[in-house]
Amino acid sequence: MASRAFGGIEVLSYRFGDDGRIPNNPRLPLLVYRGALPGGGAGGFEGRFRSNGWGGMWRDGIFGYHHYHSTAHEVLGVARGAARVTFGGEGGVTLEVREGDAVAIPAGVGHCNRGASRDLLVVGAYPAGQSWDLCTGEPGERPRALENIRRVPLPERDPLFGEEGPLIELWGEG
């Protein structure tokens, strides 16, 4: 885990290796933006994501089983409440995310809700031109998923900070 300050917020980065079930991403770190949008709010996250070219938005919780997307990167904005989420597969790291936090999840990185407040509301979005699939680590999906992950292009803009955000900086180093 590494930590950097950006625009007055703490950005944590985590790298995960392939665990045999969840491939994770060999190039790109997971990014956790602590307090990215003080006070949270679904409309605030949606506006910020939309203005930075991320779309396909939804409002809901986080699935309670390990899953990943092989065809798209994803950002989750915690609009309300809190959750304990395991990232990187069964042997990954469990973090508490709370109102105002956001998480940029590279294609291939597993995530699983381990428990949440009753009022949890998350806004999810994807970079322009990317459509998500749903993979759970089944052996038959692996060859296709690995190839898909390699092909997912980098986003043009950070979902929260645009052209010069931490995602652009840290994923560009990938």
Tell me, what's the pLDDT at 173?
A: 65
Q: Where are the domains of the chain?
A: 2-164
In tens, the pLDDT along 26-66 reads 999 999 999 999 988 999 999 999 999 999 999 999 999 99
Residue 3 has pLDDT above 70, yes or no: yes
Tell me, what's the pLDDT at 2?
A: 87
Q: Read out DSSP for 7-51? A: TTEEEEEE-----SS----SS--EEEEETSSTT--HHHHHHHHHH
Assign a CATH topology to domain 2-164: Jelly Rolls (2.60.120)
Instruction: Provide the whole-model pTM.
Output: 0.96
Distance of alpha carbon 80 from alpha carbon 135, whole angstroms: 26
Residue 174 has pLDDT above 70, yes or no: no
In tens, the pLDDT along 57-84 reads 999 999 999 999 999 999 999 999 999 9
